[in-house]
Chain A
Amino acid sequence: MSAPLLSATGATRRFGSLLAVEGVDLEVRAGEVVGLLGANGAGKTTLIRMLLGLLRPSAGEVRLLGEPPSRRTRARLGYLPQGLGLYEDLTVAENLAFTAEAFGGRLEGPLPDPELEAVRGELVADLPLGLRRRLAFAAALGHRPELLVLDEPTSGVDALGRARLWDAIRSAAEGSGEPPGGAPVNREAGAGVLVTTHSMGEAEQCDRLVVMAAGRVVASGTADGIIGDASTVAVRAPRWEDAFAACEAAGLPVALVGTELRVPAAQPGRVREALLAAGVRAEVTLTRATLEEAFVLLAGRAAA
């Protein structure tokens, strides 16, 4: 197995008395897409800043492409911030030329993405958001980085656009295809990809997930493995409002999905009792938790 492109070992960061990140272990290897999940304040941003070398760990170690993060190693990674990081008063081609030069390359010839090529002379400020996002992708991928760090990469994109962007991410991870803004890639190993997201749909696109809560890694593995044996009680009632009120009155953490109710991590007997006490007839079944439900349970346990 190849050495990890990115690794944190016991990474810890304090801000005064606040322990923002504590003892985090994380690895991203060539060809894999790793999702980093966490509630706001879980320490994701602090961890990313350490991984990029923008913040020094208080304890533990971070390695980027086999060495401590530096300007030199950062030039071999592509970073797509949530705000896209584009220059609004430059044209499409100027944005790509600027980032290419920042990474020691040059922009040559027509852009492989025909929709971007069609607007290469237009100011970014005049582009619709969908095209801006594709341009930001092209800029992050243009210098054929060995490692990609993407922050909510498909937020605000419609389903078809999201499928296209994931195609670009997967192609980069497989080392196949063309990056949207640069020359064709030809390398043996694909890029490693780290994706931070609040979207469970996006999380399920990843090969592996790392879940942070309260500064620590509280779970890691496949989405299926993270759900594990977490269960949810599903409730179907003729009138969901009645069952909802009964569960709330009993202090159960009830959620509405369609016209069905879900009570994560509850005992079916406890839910039946609550419904009975309110005189509500309903069908109660034990089902597997969703990834989002499992995540909320993990975050809740870490906070307690």
Chain B
Amino acid sequence: MCLAIPARIESIEGERATVNLAGTKADVVVTLTPEAGVGDWVLIHAGYAITIVTEEDARETFALLRQIADLDADDPPA
């Protein structure tokens, strides 16, 4: 099974949200993180957000984020 990865919530519709990590988007279930809103970062595991994280904590604990140059990419590179 896959690791969990942090991503930012871009939009929410009911129990589902679109999250974005450096331009890659995924469709996830956010029922387990009801307090999460648009702009918050969550930890995604096998299609489900399992907790809210701060962007700072995410950067510090995920080498993945330190590798990615542009954390704020909302749009795919041209």
Do they bind each other? no
